[in-house]
Amino acid sequence: MQISTTPTIELHRLHRLFGSTHAVNDISFEVHRGQVYGYIGPNGAGKTTSMRILSTLDLPTYGDAFVDGFSCINDPDRVRRRLGFMPDYFGTYANVNCWEYLDFFARAHGLVGRERSQALRRVMAFTGLNLLAEKPIRGLSKGMKQRLCLGRTLIHDPAVLILDEPAAGLDPRARIELREMIGQLAADGKTILVSSHILTELAEMCDRVGIIEQGRLLATGTVEEIQRQQSQASEVRVRVLGGAQALSQWLGAREDVEKIVLDGEYVNFAHAGVREAEVELLREMVVAGFAILEFGTHQTTLEDVFLQVTRGYVQ
Ligand SMILES: Nc1ncnc2c1ncn2[C@@H]1O[C@H](COP(=O)(O)OP(=O)(O)OP(=O)(O)O)[C@@H](O)[C@H]1O
Ligand SMILES: [Mg+2]
């Protein structure tokens, strides 16, 4: 996808203090059009606080946040028109049905006449709520409430979506469906910032992630980039047909290899170097005459990365 020069979402040296609590401490990152950025961090890390600032519901103590280049402090109206915020709680609306609920938010966004009924039909169809239009909200399951909340966020067709823990409390099928909806919205060109505690889920749906703890952005990038930043060495596992012993000796003479462990036909070791260096190492093994059956680098999961990056501090 073509990356435009003005980021659709930009946090610039954002700070938010509540008394002595530094809830958001110098956070900066950018998200471009059509990208999904995963915001992960433990309870109290500052995710909701920074998302609320971006959604113009709170003001930073210092710094600024921008949507399509418009400042959340100086241009909140322009920001609001472009942005939909899905909070991590669902307000109680006991005596309205799904249609009335969405209609209320459509009116609040100034949609009238045909434009409003078209927006309602579009959102009902996208969220799969068509058959539940007349169902009272109090009778909805958690999964359906989340769909309705997403629907309300989409009613004015915003270019930017801020989703605070949208998968919380959903069963596995509902999570997969949510992931598919988020993927579809990104494919339509929407820019999405999504927070979650469900780390593996973010790995699959996000182009990039940011790991935040105690208000600080500890790491940002693709999961693989963050993993590379965290550890200099990658774990490599090689399976060789005959000659595993000889391969371990050969590897033992190299400076970029350590922690060699022989395991039957397998040789496991730590390799210091970028991916290109790994490719070169494999080439050299083959040239040296070793019959390599398998060559694999340990895939670090987002959970591994999260545990490496965060320290479990709370505030
Ligand atoms: N209105 C407020 N007044 C005082 N402190 C606040 C306020 N809002 C947030 N905080 C504090 O700011 C810090 C960050 O809170 P925030 O809700 O942004 O975290 P979070 O990452 O969203 O956590 P969670 O995963 O639990 O939702 C916490 O220490 C919290 O207690
Ligand atoms: Mg939160």
C-alpha of residue 197 to centroid of ligand 2, in Å: 10
Of 156, 186, 221, which residue sits at a domain end? Answer: 221
Edge-to-edge strand list for the sheet holding 62-67:
21-31, 9-18, 62-67, 70-71
Phi-psi map region of 19: left, alpha, beta (phi>0 left; psi -120 to 50 alpha)? left
Tokens in use for 97? 């049905």
The residues pairing with 211 across neighbouring beta strands, listed in sequence order, are: 40, 219
For residues 240 and 202, membership in a common domain is answered with no
The residues pairing with 12 across neighbouring beta strands, listed in sequence order, are: 64
Phi-psi map region of 143: left, alpha, beta (phi>0 left; psi -120 to 50 alpha)? alpha
Specify the pTM. 0.80
For residues 193 and 62, membership in a common domain is answered with yes
The protein residue with its alpha carbon nearest to ligand 1, atom 16, reads 46
Cβ–Cβ < 8 Å for 157, 120: no
In a domain, 23, yes or no: yes
For residues 48 and 70, membership in a common domain is answered with yes
Residues with CB under 6 A from ligand 1: 18, 21, 23, 41, 43-49, 315
For residues 145 and 203, membership in a common domain is answered with yes
For residues 202 and 239, membership in a common domain is answered with no
For residues 53 and 190, membership in a common domain is answered with yes
Edge-to-edge strand list for the sheet holding 208-213:
83-86, 160-164, 191-196, 36-40, 208-213, 216-221
**Domain that residue 148 falls in:** 9-221
For the CA of 164, the nearest ligand: 2
C-alpha of residue 18 to centroid of ligand 2, in Å: 15
Tokens in use for 210? 């940011």
For residues 55 and 188, membership in a common domain is answered with yes
For residues 183 and 80, membership in a common domain is answered with yes
253: domain CATH number? Answer: 3.30.70
In a domain, 240, yes or no: yes
In a domain, 130, yes or no: yes
SS3 130: helix
For residues 131 and 244, membership in a common domain is answered with no
The protein residue with its alpha carbon nearest to ligand 1, atom 24, reads 43
Tokens in use for 2? 């073509």
In a domain, 159, yes or no: yes
The residues pairing with 53 across neighbouring beta strands, listed in sequence order, are: none
In a domain, 309, yes or no: no
72/64 Cα distance (integer angstroms): 7
In a domain, 300, yes or no: no
For residues 100 and 21, membership in a common domain is answered with yes
Q: What is the CA radius of gyration of the chain?
A: 24
In a domain, 135, yes or no: yes
Work out the number of other CB atoms within 10 angstroms of the CB of residue 179: 18
SS3 58: coil
For every one of its 315 residues, what pLDDT tens digit does the chain have, with 9 covering 90 and above? 555 588 999 999 999 999 999 999 999 999 999 999 999 988 899 999 999 999 999 999 999 999 999 999 999 999 999 999 999 987 777 789 999 999 999 999 999 999 999 999 999 999 999 888 888 898 888 889 999 999 999 999 999 999 999 988 888 888 889 999 999 999 999 999 999 876 676 777 899 999 999 999 998 998 778 776 766 567 899 999 999 999 999 999 999 998 899 999 999 998 887 788 899 999 999 999 999 999 998 756 667 777 777 776 655
DSSP code of residue 286: H
48: domain CATH number? Answer: 3.40.50.300
For the CA of 46, the nearest ligand: 1
What is the total count of domains within the chain?
2
In a domain, 3, yes or no: no
Tokens in use for 73? 């402090």
Tokens in use for 228? 């590379």
SS3 57: coil
The protein residue with its alpha carbon nearest to ligand 1, atom 8, reads 49
